[in-house]
Amino acid sequence: MHDIQNETDTRGIEIDDVGISGLRYPLYFEDGHLRQEGIAEIEVTVRLQHDRRGTHMSRMVALAHEHLRRFDPRRLPHVLKVGADLLDAPALAVSVAVPLSTTVIAPATGTESFQVHDVRFDGRWDDGDTTVITSVTTEVTSLCPCSKAISDYGAHNQRSRVTLSVTGHGDTPYPFGVQQAVRLLERCASAPVVPLVKRPDERVLTMQAYDHPVFVEDIAREVSHVCRERGLRHSVRVRNLESIHSHDAVAYVAAG
């Protein structure tokens, strides 16, 4: 059967990225600490040479089936190289987005529940150079320092959605794990978000937040400060889902 994708294109235009997106596929995640099954959303693209009419998108699904169903971010550079060879491409990118959960223990009663975090891995192989960006988004509690300072009692607080992205290279593609990222983001907030709380837990969490007020700027800076101390190339994005304003507060920091 004639392979139309392998026909020559004479327009001389290289395509930066072409491939598949929105592929929902089951996987088993394992990074040495966290083990979980889930449904991921996968994207695979290649840089297409100027003289190639098309790429082989069925091979991208095959790559996901053969090499991403058991997903270890530490092995992603190997998967990228395999994919580049399979598709005969000078550059290949793979993105895997999957919700992952961690155990949360209520501070007073010890009640166990689970918090789900949005996690994304963006890997790229480009002429032998490999980068992997691990992004973890979680929700924490923030209490306004200004509100606390000017109020006779109480202070407004809200959930904050924080995303930490860490870039790995070469032999260290995964320098900061998902669980490490979640714990760091919780420590840099006023208090964690706990899905299942009893009244004694609510009391502890409310007072903890009151004792540790932070602006959106404080969260972004503190997360970045810890990452800089560890020598991590990173970015931090914070969004306070404001409780008394008609707008949200946002902050962004990137380093490395």
Average pLDDT, stretch 235-247? 95
- Asked if residue 63 lies in contact with residue 45, where contact means CB atoms within 8 angstroms, the answer is no
What does the pLDDT look like over 60-91, one tens digit per residue? 999 999 999 999 999 999 999 999 999 999 99
Per-residue confidence (pLDDT) for residue 205, from 0 to 100: 97
Rounded Cα distance between 136 and 134, Å, is 7
pLDDT surpasses 90 at 256:
no
pTM of the model: 0.94
pLDDT (average), residues 215-238: 98
Cα–Cα distance for residue pair 205/191, rounded to 1 Å: 6
Whether pLDDT at 27 is above 90: yes
Look at residues 181, 189, 187 and name the one whose alpha carbon lies nearest to residue 241: 189
Q: Is the pLDDT of residue 168 over 80?
A: yes
DSSP state, residue 189: S
Which pLDDT band holds residue 45 (cuts at 50, 70, 90)? very high
Residue 1: pLDDT over 70? no
Q: How confident is residue 18, by pLDDT bands cut at 50, 70 and 90?
A: very high
| DSSP conformation letters of 142-188 | EE-HHHHHH-SS---EEEEEEEEEEEEETTBS-SS-HHHHHHHHHHT
Cβ 238 vs Cβ 161: under 8 Å:
yes
Residues in contact with 211: Cβ distance below 8 Å, sequence separation at least 6, in sequence order: none
